[in-house]
Amino acid sequence: MEQQMTYGSDYKFIPATSVKSGESVEVVPGIVCHTIQIVNICLIGDPNTGDFVLVDAGMPGSAEDIISVSEKYFGAGSRPKAIILTHGHFDHVGAVIELVKHWLVPVYAHELELPHLTGQEPYPKPDATVEGGMVAKMSPLFPREPINLGGNVEKLPPGGEVPHLPDFRWIHTPGHSPGHISLFRDKDRLLLAGDAFVTVKQDSFYKVVTQKEELNGPPRYLTTDWEAAKNSVAALEKLKPAVTITGHGRPISGTELSGGLAVLVQEFERVAVPDYGKYVDEEK
Ligand SMILES: [Zn+2]
Ligand SMILES: [Zn+2]
């Protein structure tokens, strides 16, 4: 099975970084958010038993970093029960093949994301013309060819249950990608939002570098369906999350989160949707 796994032919290290790169924070007990260059991964588990699940798989070339942060929190030689992907963009699957080979664990993703994870379908071209800054202009460099996890990736169970995380449910939050999911834990209203919305304005390279906090819609240059993206943010806002970890930017909580989400929903067109760009113009 291992031999079947390949990255796309355009897979490569992307030279991008932020001030938070390499930092880990235990956001609530048992939930670790670790920043790799400009993207976050989450470890969800119990340091006492060493059982954990990894959510997302970082940037290209980050496998050693992910293994070492896993061992730091869950013990030497520890390995997760599974890897759950919020979606299959290059910055969320960058180390997944090395990790599957190292840990021999299954990967789960939404059914609609599987064509991008089994070598069948590339993602649409990033929109370098979208209103925005340096990151959008860099986006043609981003890998978009599908990776192929072969038989190592499975679709998430249809009922919303999350393998090995009985307290969580997954919620389909498309728009940024067709099979994008978020993870929610009802007991403390913890939300892992992936790229459904982010807490840094990605269009400005400056803000990615400094990770200045700002509740924003999904990263613009890769988002293809703005209507679905808006509905997804509205659905997440209805959950009234108390703490949120997003794919990019810092974890946020409390009124900063509730107020920011309310504004994002009410003024989605102004705040999140770019004024111009091919995925905007195509839909109008
Ligand atoms: Zn993404
Ligand atoms: Zn992302």
pLDDT at residue 284 tops 60: no
HEC per residue, 243-276: EEEECCCCCEEHHHHHHHHHHHHHCHHHHCCCCC
Position with higher pLDDT, 202 vs 115: 115
Confidence (pLDDT) at 62:
97
* Gap from CA of 247 to ligand 2 centroid (Å): 5
CA of 181, nearest ligand number? 1
* Gap from CA of 191 to ligand 1 centroid (Å): 17
Q: In angstroms, rounded to a whole number, what is the distance separating the alpha carbons of residues 4 and 133?
A: 38
Banded pLDDT at 27 (limits 50, 70, 90): very high
What integer is the mean pLDDT of 120-139? 83
CA of 144, nearest ligand number? 1
* Gap from CA of 272 to ligand 1 centroid (Å): 15
Q: In angstroms, rounded to a whole number, what is the distance separating the alpha carbons of residues 204 and 20?
A: 16
Are the CB atoms for 280 and 136 separated by under 8 Å?
A: no
Query: Near ion ligand 2, which residues have CB within 5 Å?
Result: 91, 195, 247
* Gap from CA of 49 to ligand 1 centroid (Å): 32
56 CB-near residues (< 8 Å, 6+ apart): 39, 40, 41, 42, 83, 84, 85, 86, 92, 93, 194, 247
CA of 38, nearest ligand number? 2
* Gap from CA of 38 to ligand 2 centroid (Å): 8
CA of 123, nearest ligand number? 1
Banded pLDDT at 21 (limits 50, 70, 90): confident
* Gap from CA of 73 to ligand 2 centroid (Å): 24
CA of 246, nearest ligand number? 2
* Gap from CA of 66 to ligand 2 centroid (Å): 16
Q: Could you read off the pLDDT of 169-222 as tens digits, one per residue?
A: 999 999 999 999 999 999 999 999 999 999 986 555 444 555 455 789 999 889
- Number of separate helices (H) and strands (E) present in the chain: 9, 13
* Gap from CA of 92 to ligand 2 centroid (Å): 6
* Gap from CA of 49 to ligand 2 centroid (Å): 30
Q: Is 188 left (phi over 0), alpha (psi -120 to 50) or beta?
A: alpha
CA of 14, nearest ligand number? 2
Confidence (pLDDT) at 137:
79
What integer is the mean pLDDT of 131-144? 80
What integer is the mean pLDDT of 84-91? 97
Q: Could you read off the pLDDT of 156-166 as tens digits, one per residue?
A: 999 999 999 99
Lowest-confidence region among 15-19, 62-66, 75-79, 120-124: 15-19
